[in-house]
Structure 1
């Protein structure tokens, strides 16, 4: 997948992966790959700065934990992060609907796909 296609969507992807449970950085990268059936291979140089930024804005909280004998920073969603994730999902549905209506020539002008 084209890395440029992820611009503007990284926050939603990270928040979504952390919705289920707290994870450390490498596990987040693995979860993105797994949930995308291997289509998303996001470099650590993209993920870690985004995690730190989401932590600064209060969407994530982190703590150090020992996992398999190694110290790792584990990230979890905060209440603010859950609200942000819902807003991101809503914005994504709107965006996908609009883009879908443009890319589907079988729809007439102003007709939006169902769903």
Structure 2
């Protein structure tokens, strides 16, 4: 499972070095937080697990409208053959961040 998670981290580091796992402590503008959330699709046979995928989220925080890193994140995921979809885009009034959230799955 850990090798699958390393793919996520290494892919995101191609976009920025501000990549955090679970939470970003004292991070400033333009940073990524990623986390594994659960098992995704799996294949079982002969009373055992044959293949397991892991599902999680990537959250990108920026104060720049139309930030080019949004496209860079998606392209990095495509280039790494990581399945994903854009879950939401929100403006957080309290922090003034635009918050993008993707759901990913690796097998």
Question: Do both proteins adopt the same fold according to a TM-score greater than 0.5, normalized to the shorter chain?
Answer: no
Bigger Rg over Cα: 1
Greater share of residues in helix: 1
Greater share of residues in strand: 2
| TM-score (normalised: structure 1) | 0.27
| TM-score (normalised: structure 2) | 0.28
